[in-house]
Amino acid sequence: MKYTNVCIEAFSHTLPEEVLATAELEMMLQPLYSRLKLPEGRLELLTGIRERRLWTRGRSPGEQSVETVRRLLDRSEIDPQRIGALIHGSVCRDYLEPATACGVHHALGLPPTCMVYDVSNACLGILSGMIQTANMIELGQIEAGIVVGTESSRSLLEATIRQLNTDLSIDRKSVKSAFASLTIGSGSAAVLLASKELSRTGNRLLGGAVYAQTEHCNLCRSETDQSGGDAMNPLMRTDSETLMQEGVRAAAATFELFLSEVDWTRRGVGRTFCHQVGRVHQQLLFETLGLPMEINFSTLEHLGNTGSVALPTAASIGFESGFVHPGERVALLGIGSGINVVMLGMLAGKP
């Protein structure tokens, strides 16, 4: 896919105040650790995640998404009344119906002619929403659109800890399937896309590539389809090692398509923002893609894996901190369970 008229105008993010250190999480798992004689410090050692954050209990994904979009609009000079699409793209949502995007749209007072809906695609929901928005802008259907999402990890963490501590059938082998759930963190991120004529930043979205290896759709899945509120009692089963290997393999195939589509070379990639899973995954990914780790902006150490908002949150913090310089080629590298891969390329405009 290629774009000639689309800009990624701005990113924004909001983060919870409550911090849960990995050491504290392991203390909560003492019944499991004692029974299986697991060494303390193992989780941080394997993942590189020191801490993650949790939203205040009772805070809905939609409420937090409203705050994140308000911050996004404050950063932009674009009139909110020119927003033609609002997409909510996180795994967590307020209800099964209506779309969480409806409440966000109402709270923000966006125009009634704005298209409003949710997108669900595991950790790629926001990137998928970005593609849909970019397509609408390229076709001239809208001038600008917003993609937002909020992920809440509290319920998943609490349910996982409870099961690990009480299910005596869990052994050293079966505990591995719950390992990925303990890396999850909370966060919220939003992206504003606009036409080239409307843009003030000139951050051009050049194009990208997608790739699917759905024969691996069962490597990471929840038990049932549930919404993302506090009543949610989710449990995840993840074959972390196989998912990492197959995900990186799919990413390698996508990266070749991506470079060809945007007409870049590996050496031409200036900065990257990727899905944040863990230290070993990042090292293997960049080694396989033939890219230096130094060009990537990492947040996993203090945020953990925040699902669909991980990549846009990293981009928001990275742009905010001056990590990206005008004229640099920026690759957005998304890998999600399914397995699906989305890679997008942008050319940074003025600061």
Q: How many domains does the chain have?
A: 1
Domain contains 40: no
pLDDT of 351 over the 70 cut: no
Domain contains 215: yes
Three-state SS for 295?
Answer: helix
Angle between helical axes of 240-262 and 279-289 (0-180°, round to 10): 40
pLDDT of 225 over the 70 cut: no
Percent of residues, the chain, with pLDDT higher than 90: 75
CA dihedral 64, 128, 158, 21 (to 10 degrees): -80
* Number of C-beta neighbours around residue 217 at 10 A: 13
**pLDDT tens digits along 47-64:** 899 999 999 999 999 999
Residues 241-264, mean pLDDT to the nearest whole number: 88
Query: Which tokens go with 125?
Result: 């929901």
**Among 211, 244, 220, 252, residue whose Cα is nearest residue 342:** 211
pLDDT class of 276 with cuts at 50, 70, 90 = confident
Half-sphere exposure of 235 (CA within 13 A, CB side): 11
Say what the pLDDT of residue 175 is: 84
pLDDT class of 65 with cuts at 50, 70, 90 = very high
Residues 211-229, mean pLDDT to the nearest whole number: 65
**Distance from the Cα of residue 189 to its chain's centroid:** 8
Residues 113-139, mean pLDDT to the nearest whole number: 96
Residues 14-30, mean pLDDT to the nearest whole number: 96
pLDDT class of 6 with cuts at 50, 70, 90 = very high
d(CA 114, CA 142): 9
Least confident interval from 1-10, 131-140, 141-150, 331-340: 331-340
Question: CA-CA distances (angstroms) from residue 313 to 13, 75, 263, 286, 337?
Answer: 6, 15, 26, 20, 19
Say what the pLDDT of residue 227 is: 47
* Burial class for 235, CB neighbours closer than 10 Å (0-12, 13-18, 19+): middle
pLDDT class of 241 with cuts at 50, 70, 90 = confident
Domain contains 116: no
pLDDT of 148 over the 50 cut: yes
Specify the pTM: 0.92
Domain contains 271: yes
Eight-class DSSP state of 275: -
Domain contains 114: no
Q: The CATH number of the domain where 246 resides is what?
A: 3.40.47.10
- Look up 256 and say whether it is catalytic: no
Which range marks the domain in which residue 326 is found? 204-347
pLDDT of 109 over the 50 cut: yes
pLDDT of 290 over the 60 cut: yes
User: Where do the DSSP E strands lie in 183-301?
Assistant: 187-195, 204-212, 220-222, 236-238, 271-274
Half-sphere exposure of 225 (CA within 13 A, CB side): 5
Least confident interval from 54-63, 122-131, 330-339: 330-339
Residues 161-169, mean pLDDT to the nearest whole number: 92
**Among 317, 311, 334, 309, residue whose Cα is nearest residue 149:** 309
The one catalytic residue in 18, 24, 40, 97 is 97
pLDDT of 254 over the 80 cut: yes
Percent of residues, the chain, with pLDDT higher than 70: 93
Domain contains 74: no
The one catalytic residue in 92, 102, 114, 123 is 123
Domain contains 224: yes
311 compared with 239, residue with greater pLDDT: 311
pLDDT averaged over the chain? Answer: 91
Domain contains 162: no
- Look up 217 and say whether it is catalytic: no
Say what the pLDDT of residue 244 is: 76
pLDDT class of 235 with cuts at 50, 70, 90 = low
